[in-house]
Amino acid sequence: MNKPASVPEQVDAVVVGAGFSGLYMLYRLRQLGLSVKVFDSAGDVGGTWYWNRYPGARCDVPTTDYTFSFDPELEKEWTWSEKYATQPEILEYLRFVADRHELRSDIEFSTAVTAARWDEPAKQWVITTGGGREVRCRHYIMATGCLSVAKSPDIEGAERFAGPVYFTSRWPHEGVDFTGQRVAVIGTGSSGIQSIPLIARQASQLTVFQRTANFSIPAHNGPAPAETLRQLDEGRDAYRDAARWSRGGVPVEPTDVLAGAASEEVRRERFEAAWQQGELFGILNVFADQGVNPAANDIVAEMIREKIRATVNDPETAEALCPRGHYFGTKRPCLDTGYFETFNLPHVRLVDLRKEPIVSITEDGIETAGESFGFDTIVYATGFDAMTGALVGADVTGRDGLSLKEKWAAGPSTYLGLMTTGFPNFFMLTGPGSPSVLSNMAVSIEQHVDWVAGCLKDLRDKGLETIEPTELAEAGWNQHNQDCAAITLHPTANSWYMGANVPGKPRVFLPYIGGVGAYRQACDDVVTQDYLGFTRTGPGAVRCTDGVIRSMQPDVAMVMEFVNALGLPPMETLSAADARALMAATAENRPPGPEVGEVTDGVIPIPDGTLPYRLYRPAGPPEGPRPLVVYFHGGGWVLGNLDSDDPLCRDLCARSGAVVVSVNYRHAPEVRFPAAALDAFAAVQWADANAIELGGIPGQLAVAGWSAGANVAAVACQLARDAGGPRITGQLLICPAVDSDLTRPSYEENGDGYILTTALMRWFWDHYADPADRGDPRAAPLRGDLAGLPPACIVAADFDPLRDEGVAYARALEAAAVPVRLTRARGHTHTSVTMVDVIISGAPVRAEMAAALEDFFPAAEPQSSAAPQAHVS
């Protein structure tokens, strides 16, 4: 008789990992009445705090913040002894949590999960453990941490060393006694920086091998910060809630002090206060722009370098310890206790691998390009395959046999950092695309777990079985994640945030840098929009609400939020004079735009008088004439002047290398249609006739304009064609108004809330042109004959009411055989691409505009006497 096949174990959910996230996940799943099995290869709870037992291991977020908040009683019963608790104390805390909620009964320790496979017909995950045991579950949750898989020491000869070798990330439980030993430490990240001072206390000789000097500030450890304790006493819930909606998961008020605008005294005062405070979120918040502006960052970086020089006695060692080559904060900064001071000890030496790389590890030491070192022990503090290592290393196979490793071969792809398409009911806690490592983990973990628990409850309540993100939603989140990173200095660094520390790992910014509060809001918005971006299925039911949760550029969204919070009166409710005054007032404190070589003002004679112009000549070589761009400002034919678009003109001039002549045409309602259009044409004729005097190259004349300025630029091109000249070589139309039909979908989609509204557009038209005139091609150039017009570059912004008419103009030009380049300003509004040095994400769009201008101008003919030195690259 055959033995009956063993019945596989079955639970509602399997969780891998019993650290902060796994423990809380178990607690929440149990609350839902679900059966749960948690596996961990460790011998007890603790996750990262179970393994990372190296000397000096501590938290680097104040422990009063790095703590669970879900259980108010727990908060009363546990008191942290220090500002930054040690690893043993944090581990003790997690044991206490496990005991208090009797969590261990559902956890199997010393059990690794070796594979997980989605069984589509059964709608279950099949989990295989180290012993070959199978457990089936509906939901599979990896709570495996971001920094749990050690990076292999990719150093020649590493396996040859005969003495003891230790990894900070897998430290022996019994500890290590280095007394009397010659010790090498390789790596100067947080683990190295925390352990080196303590290893130095025991070792007879300590040699630190440093590849990249790291920024570190003194932790000033001691009792828990009195101010935090006071705030917690006054209102624990309010404090915790503020943390949940903060940027980094600790209630820190973001500063609005810009480094460039602050006096030297204020800069030093702010820096010194942050230095004395000894908190990462403080030193990362000295200036509002230090994370995005290289010059601002360098001010902080240099002040840290000064501190290092003042601490380390030997100038050469001090210089080697001064971080260079990456911006402060783009690699995880460290908190230390006596790190730099350690290099003043006579038995401690620094080897700068930038000058003297390791050639090989030998049987009894390390050989560098310049020297042979003998050691008794080597300590590797060389870091982790961060954020993705544990996930792709776990042999997870989703629908149709696709493995996570295959799917993520070019970099991770997630929705909200929580799920990934093709892997139904598979959740990651602190996955790539979540704030995780950039935040106070405890706060982020509670948010992730609460979201997953809410999601599973909702599925159950609705009788649904599976959930999985849509491809559109996932692509949108990946894009948003990269957009958020792109406006910061982070992508410039070879950091583990970028996957750059592991040879061969795709270079993608891994965590979500938009902030804990913004992330929480996005997750909440997904839920309130009926799980936007997810497909959920159940018996006979498929529910899918497809869409992208965040598609506006993050800096544009921030500015919009700021502007909307100002509660300014809608412009269309004002008189033209008041609207002009309001526009001028809002522009008062904006950045001036880049330096150019020369700015001169003048007037253009026209039959009825003169038009003011401002000319911008680029700085630097080549000497001699340049192509000429006649530019028309925005403002709905009513607002705007030479000042309003000054930063944009500087930017266009500096980027394109052309001479830009900005023209102030006459405005409505004082002078109505077709005055503005005719002024534009007159200005182009004048510029053409005076090209040489303006420093231009005759025959190399383009027009450009923004909004209503783009309208008159487009009309000028049509009038020039009809008049047989002047010859215009190109037209750059930025978010152009080209039609008086305000019924296109973009007027509906973007008609309110993004500064230029549909109502305001109506107000502009009413001021500019009588209804009977609005079909005239000189008002609505889209309605004109488009054949034979100059090549065009049209910029259409996603959140612009004018988007669709810009696109329509591009299509119509194309149909008329006019070469067109349509630049989609992804995630931008009508105004945001023009906000020079305010909206960082607008810079690539303006670079495209400048490239289009350059393309309009033919390369200078060497034999041409008119422009012998002109060069357009």
Residues of this chain that bind ligand NAP (CB under 6 A): 58-60, 147, 154-155, 168, 186-192, 194, 209, 211-212, 332, 353, 381-384, 437, 496, 501
Helix (H) or strand (E) holding 846, with range, is helix 843-856
Look up residue 381 and give its two tokens. 């503090």
Q: Which residue has the tokens 């309110």?
A: 752
Min dist CB 501 to ligand NAP, Å, is 5
In the bound state with ligand NAP, the residue whose beta carbon lies nearer, of 188 and 330, is: 188
Helix, strand, coil abundance in the chain, percent, nearest 5: 35, 20, 45
Please state the closest distance from residue 85 (CB atom) to ligand NAP, in A.
10
Q: Which is nearer to ligand NAP, 111 or 169 (CB)?
A: 169
Please say which residue, 435 or 791, places its beta carbon nearer to ligand NAP. 435
| Rounded least distance, CB 496 to ligand NAP, Å | 5
Closer residue to ligand NAP, CB minimum distance, 225 or 547: 225
In the complex, the smallest distance separating the C-beta of residue 63 from ligand NAP, rounded to whole angstroms, is: 10
Of 247 and 332, the one with the shorter C-beta distance to ligand NAP is: 332
Residue 67 tokens read as 């703590």
Shortest distance (Å) from residue 701 CB to ligand NAP:
52
The nearer residue to ligand NAP, 214 or 750, going by C-beta atoms, is: 214
Residue 212 structure tokens: 């990249």
- Cα distances (angstroms) measured from residue 702 to each of 603, 659, 699, 843: 19, 10, 9, 21
Minimum separation from the CB atom of position 637 to ligand NAP (A): 54
Q: Closer CB to ligand NAP, residue 58 or residue 650? A: 58
Least Cα distance to 398 among 430, 421, 414 occurs for 421
- Tokens 């019963």 belong to which residue? 77
Minimum CB distance to ligand NAP, residue 379 (Å): 11
What's the token pair of residue 427?
A: 């959740």
Query: Closest separation between CB of residue 812 and ligand NAP, Å?
Result: 54
Amino acid at position 558, single letter = M
DSSP class of residue 403 equals: B
Residue nearest to ligand NAP (CB): 189
- Which CB, 84 or 426, lies closer to ligand NAP? 84
* Omega cis (within 30) before 622: yes
Q: Rounded distance, CA 691 to CA 730, Å?
A: 16
Q: Nearer to ligand NAP by C-beta: 59 or 552? A: 59
Query: Which strand (E) or helix (H) includes residue 765?
Result: helix 758-768
Nearer to ligand NAP (CB atom), residue 355 or residue 462: 355
Q: Which of 347, 354, 307 is nearest to 328 (CA)?
A: 307
Shortest Cβ distance from residue 442 to ligand NAP (Å)? Answer: 12
At closest approach, how far in Å is the CB of 502 from ligand NAP?
Answer: 9
Task: Let me know: does 188 contact 210? Beta carbons within 8 Å.
Answer: yes
Question: Of the two residues 274 and 583, which places its CB atom closer to ligand NAP in the complex?
Answer: 274
Beta strand extents in 69-112 (DSSP E only):
107-108
Contacts of 851 (CB under 8 A, 6+ apart): none
Tokens of residue 128, six digits: 């295989």
Identify which of residues 192 and 515 has a Cβ nearer to ligand NAP in the complex: 192
In the bound complex, what is the minimum distance in angstroms from residue 446's beta carbon to ligand NAP? 18
At its nearest, how many Å lie between ligand NAP and the CB of residue 547? 33
- The pair phi, psi for residue 687, each rounded to 5°, is -65, -40
Pick 437 or 629: Cβ nearer ligand NAP: 437
Instruction: Spell out the residues 6+ positions from residue 443 whose beta carbon is closer than 8 angstroms to its own.
Output: 65, 69, 243, 244, 249, 250, 516
Which residue type is seen at 212? T
Other beta carbons within 10 angstroms of residue 575's beta carbon come to 9
Q: Identify the sign of the CA torsion 260, 262, 263, 265.
A: negative
Beta bridge partners of 703: 630, 731
Amino acid at 266: V
Helices (H), 350-503: 389-392, 404-407, 441-461, 471-486
Q: Are 583 and 830 in contact (CB under 8 A)?
A: no
Query: d(Cα 628, Cα 689) in Å, to the nearest integer?
Result: 12
Asked if 700 and 726 count as a contact pair (C-beta separation under 8 A), the reply is no
**Shortest Cβ 184–ligand NAP spacing (Å):** 11
User: In angstroms, what is the minimal distance from the CB of 440 to ligand NAP?
Assistant: 11
Cα 515 to Cα 107: distance, rounded to the nearest angstrom: 32
Q: At what angle do helices 516-528 and 236-244 cross, to 10 degrees?
A: 80
Q: Cβ(97)–Cβ(103) under 8 Å?
A: yes
| Buried/exposed 669-682: b ≥16 CB within 10 Å, e otherwise | eebbbbbbbbbbbb
Closest approach, Cβ 198 to ligand NAP, in A, equals 13
The pair phi, psi for residue 610, each rounded to 5°, is -140, 160
| Nearest to ligand NAP of 391, 720 (CB atom) | 391
Residue placing its CB nearer to ligand NAP in the complex, 82 or 106: 82
| Closest approach of ligand NAP to the CB of residue 192, in Å | 5
Q: For residue 602, what are the β-bridge partners?
A: 613
Nearer to ligand NAP, 388 or 757 (CB): 388
CB of 168 to ligand NAP, least distance (A): 6
Alpha helix segments (H runs only) across 1-86? 20-31, 48-51, 72-77
**CA-to-CA distance for 104 and 100, rounded, in angstroms?**
10
Burial string for 522-541 (b: 16+ CB within 10 Å, else e) reads: bbeebeeeebbbbbbbeeee
Beta strands in 308-412 (DSSP E): 334-336, 348-352, 358-361, 365-368, 372-374, 377-380, 396-397
Smallest distance, ligand NAP to C-beta of residue 206, A: 16
CB nearer ligand NAP, residue 330 or residue 823:
330
For ligand NAP, the closer of residues 187 and 705 by Cβ is 187
